[in-house]
Amino acid sequence: MTPSETPCNCLAIRQAARHLTHFYDKLMAPTGLRSTQFSILMVLKRIGPMTINALSAKLVMDRTTLGRNILPLEREGLVTIKKTPSDRRSKEVCLTEAGTERLRAAIEKWDDAQARFEASFGAERASELRTLACAVVAVPSPDRID
């Protein structure tokens, strides 16, 4: 079933997300990073060390999924996870020097994925897609459904 065959917004967006994720992951494979892991490293590079809760919120990702993606990064020495100085109950994720180097090497593959997608989908449409996706993320999500 294609997104155009269903009126379900959630299904259409999830299908598109899986399609793009598969495409990016395939091109990123030589770096040893999946697209989600690349995004984690990029956020840490741009913003700096963050608590797991803050990183989870920034990525719009639940903590369990974030944890599954962080563990291999920690095993490979690309990030460290340590207790925060201000609140020993909280853990902070930090990009390591090795993580910065891996990220630097992966950016070329990421840029290639971006360029290929835009060449296929259209640069203007890709820009519109990002704008719409950001708008979807900005819509408040209800805590409970009545």
For range 48-76, the mean pLDDT: 94
Residue 142 lies in a domain: no
| Domain count along the chain | 1
Task: Give me the residues paired with residue 95 across strands.
Answer: 79
Residue 143 lies in a domain: no
Residue 42 lies in a domain: yes
Residue 113 lies in a domain: yes
pLDDT in tens, 70-81: 999 999 999 999
Long-range residue pairs from 111-117, CB within 8 A, at least 24 positions apart, any chain: 112/27, 113/23, 113/24, 113/27, 113/28, 116/23, 116/27, 117/20, 117/23
Residue 88 lies in a domain: yes
Residue 89 lies in a domain: yes
CATH number of the CATH domain containing 94: 1.10.10.10
For range 126-142, the mean pLDDT: 88
Q: Could you tell me the pLDDT band of residue 145, with boundaries at 50, 70 and 90? A: very low
* Distances in whole angstroms, Cα of residue 22 to Cα of each of 1, 27, 126, 145: 17, 9, 17, 31
Residue 120 lies in a domain: yes
Residue 140 lies in a domain: no
Q: Could you tell me the pLDDT band of residue 144, with boundaries at 50, 70 and 90? A: very low
- Provide the residue range defining the domain that includes 106: 7-131
Q: Strand runs (DSSP E) across 40-131, as ranges? A: 50-51, 79-83, 91-95
pLDDT in tens, 1-33: 565 666 788 888 999 999 999 999 999 999 999
Distance between CA atoms of 89 and 106, rounded to whole angstroms? Answer: 33
